[in-house]
Amino acid sequence: MDITSQILNEFHLSEDDIILDEFICENDDLMWIKSEINYMVYVPSYMLWCLKNRERDGNLICDNTINALAEYGRAKDLNNEYLSFKFQCSNQQKQLVRLFLSWCSNNLEFCNIEQIERSIKHWQ
């Protein structure tokens, strides 16, 4: 099973649940979305966008998604709704985040490999 299918399955997303590409392109950094969001839908949607659009727009959305996952991975306070995504994830979902980050380091031309390696450790 490919990583896209795994994300859809493990985060229990249907094609109708995924955030629209237009929204993601207009809001390139999910950490700066002003409205209240369902992180269990938005974060995997951004990950899926990166998987299918890795060559688009200089990877700004991919960079911002990697940065967001790094922040969520470092979070220590599960009561902070803004950073609690990691604490909402099951072990399988955390494994998928690590798989996605590994995919980024292997497939994105310009990304911060050191940050990704640190993030993978934080998502253990």
Q: What is the pLDDT of residues 7-32, one digit of tens each?
A: 999 999 998 999 999 999 999 999 99
Q: What is the pLDDT of residues 72-96, one digit of tens each?
A: 998 876 666 667 899 999 999 999 9
Buried b (16+ CB within 10 A) or exposed e, 93-118: bbebbbbbbebbbeebeebbeebbee
Q: What does the pLDDT read at residue 27?
A: 95
Q: What does the pLDDT read at residue 108?
A: 86
* pLDDT above 90: residue 39: yes
- Tell me 113's DSSP state: H
Q: What does the pLDDT read at residue 83?
A: 72
Q: What residue type is 45 in one-letter code?
A: S
